[in-house]
Structure 1
């Protein structure tokens, strides 16, 4: 029987985002707490150098100014190591951090419900987290499909609308 492609425990909107600290470079670490106060886009992806992952990260690099208009920080996460990320980011000229969920293997992906035990990678999963650290949108894409940026942009639009409504109500 084939493995299920989507884990049953993917974190859903309304849940506090699990804290993490992961290597961004061989000598720097980045924590979710470092980004508090601003929306965060977590883009889990299976592996550097795969064609779909490369296209996905390149697209996000192009859309990065749009994400920044919302005050959002984009972070890529895979189970590859920091040196692999460094080479991949340099080759693709990426301008956002890639975090290594390498040791313990997939520890952060597991907490978000997107680790693939049978192949040691993560799902192609997206999360938009608000400035208070609550997941506001999540999506798991089929592995072979680039999910694009429309869902992320829609989620960021909704965050702005909710913040505007909350501000008007107080």
Structure 2
């Protein structure tokens, strides 16, 4: 499900969260204020579709940076697993742990799969005020195209500049 959220006065606020990245550094919604952000929930580190999606994010990182967008990839994996995943795959963006309380961030965004105990493939583009401007939610086995995420950020930045 792709959902470009329109009408700036009706844009939903992104749920607040606080966690840690792969290096144990705190990361929260308030850290993202003032710039676009892309939150990419994924089921599991070191799995085929997840790794391929994050490779796409890695390969597009310069383009996201050109738009001033910060990318956070969020999973229920532990911080230690995420550190190894980031180092093995050369991911320079934040991998955020939603390990404990298990799936709390994914639940807040409506993308936690209770039966599988992990996040669905949910993505959210936020504006600098922490409002959701675009989202897509896919099932666990359905890959997303990260170029669509970049396009959503680009469109948002273009709307802001006019």
- Fold shared per TM-score above 0.5: yes
**Offset of residue 118 of structure 1:** 0.3
**Offset of residue 26 of structure 1:** 5.5
Supply the RMSD in Å over aligned alpha carbons.
1.6
| Largest Rg, 1 or 2 | 1
Q: Say whether the 8 Å CA contact 2:22–2:86 is kept in structure 1.
A: no
Provide the residue aligned with 1:17 in structure 2. Answer: 14
Q: Pick from 71, 74, 88: which aligns with 1:74?
A: 71
For residues 81 and 119 of structure 2, the distance between their equivalents in structure 1, rounded to whole angstroms, comes to: 16
Q: Pick from 47, 57, 60: which aligns with 2:54?
A: 57
Q: Does structure 1 residue 35 correspond to structure 2 residue 32?
A: yes
For residues 110 and 69 of structure 1, the distance between their equivalents in structure 2, rounded to whole angstroms, comes to: 31
Q: Pick from 118, 121, 131: which aligns with 2:128?
A: 131
For residues 48 and 65 of structure 1, the distance between their equivalents in structure 2, rounded to whole angstroms, comes to: 23
Q: Does structure 1 residue 162 correspond to structure 2 residue 159?
A: yes
The 3-state SS of whatever aligns with 1:84 is helix
Note the residue ranges of structure 1 that are not aligned, 5 or more in a row.
1-5, 166-170
Q: Say whether the 8 Å CA contact 2:67–2:153 is kept in structure 1.
A: yes
Per-residue Cα deviation, 1:45-73 (whole angstroms, up to 9, x for no partner)? 00001110011111110100010010000
Provide the residue aligned with 1:146 in structure 2. Answer: 143
For residues 91 and 27 of structure 1, the distance between their equivalents in structure 2, rounded to whole angstroms, comes to: 17
The 3-state SS of whatever aligns with 1:162 is helix
Q: Please give the TM-score of this superposition, normalised by the length of structure 2.
A: 0.91
Note the residue ranges of structure 2 that are not aligned, 5 or more in a row.
6-10
**Offset of residue 143 of structure 1:** 2.2
For residues 89 and 141 of structure 1, the distance between their equivalents in structure 2, rounded to whole angstroms, comes to: 23
Equivalence map 1:39-118=2 (5 Å): 39-118=36-115
May I ask how many residue pairs the two structures share in their alignment? 156
For residues 69 and 27 of structure 1, the distance between their equivalents in structure 2, rounded to whole angstroms, comes to: 26
